Amino acid sequence: MEKAKIKLEILGLSYSQTQTGAYALVLGESDGKRRLPIIIGNFEAQAIAIELESMRPSRPLTHDIFKTFADTFEIKVNEVIVYNLVEGIFFAKLLCQRGSEEPIEIDTRTSDAIALAVRFNCPIYTYEFILGSAGIILDDDEIESLSEDIPAAEIPKISATSGRYGSMPLEELEVELEKALSEEDYEKASEIRDEINKRK
């Protein structure tokens, strides 16, 4: 017997209270009061926020490339399902289809799945056991504070080459730069310097 799916809506992004440099993507059941906060990194938060705000970056992000690729080959993402939760980690899949062919399930990180869902304008679902174990019910004030979108401009931009430094504060980066130079690790110093220059 197939499990009943529960539709989710994106309520917004908030700063994570538990992990520095991370964000909480807040999903809520369409016909209920339970909220599902999912901790995501700043690259994924940026990708979601940009699309929610209908912004167009100067160069396409990875999720934009996937969307263009899928459109070019007439592949649709019909829905996203957050289908499992293991030791605090959410698992998701895309249900994709090309023309009249049978739908195909593709496993993906939940943050990437949501970033694609907003681009394909497709529904997001989960199951009762996930909402039952990880869902929270908030009062009106808490819902309002969690549901306030963080503007994309406020989320630090990172690149594929500087992913490990993208979430570090500027002061910490400068300390790391001095350390790398003193150890004559010039490759590391170059990466850190590039990240510092982007911030300035």
pLDDT at 74 > cutoff 50: yes
- Per-residue pLDDT, averaged over 175-192, amounts to 78
Residue 187 has pLDDT above 80, yes or no: no
Per residue in 12-31, pLDDT (tens digit) is 888 777 776 788 899 999 98
* Residues 57 and 50 sit within 8 Å (Cβ to Cβ): yes
Min mean pLDDT across 2-6, 85-89, 156-160 is at 156-160
> Is the per-residue pLDDT at 89 higher than 70?
yes
Beta strand extents in the chain (DSSP E only) = 5-15, 23-29, 34-40, 75-86, 89-98, 104-109, 124-127, 136-137
Task: Walk me through the domains of the chain, giving residue ranges and CATH numbers.
Answer: 5-154 (3.10.690.10), 160-199 (no CATH)
Supply the pLDDT for residue 140: 58
pLDDT at 171: 77
| pLDDT, tens digit, 9 for 90 and up, residues 32-43 | 889 999 999 888
The mean per-residue pLDDT over the stretch 133-153 comes to 64
DSSP character at residue 163: T
How many Å apart are CA 39 and CA 45, to the nearest integer? Answer: 10
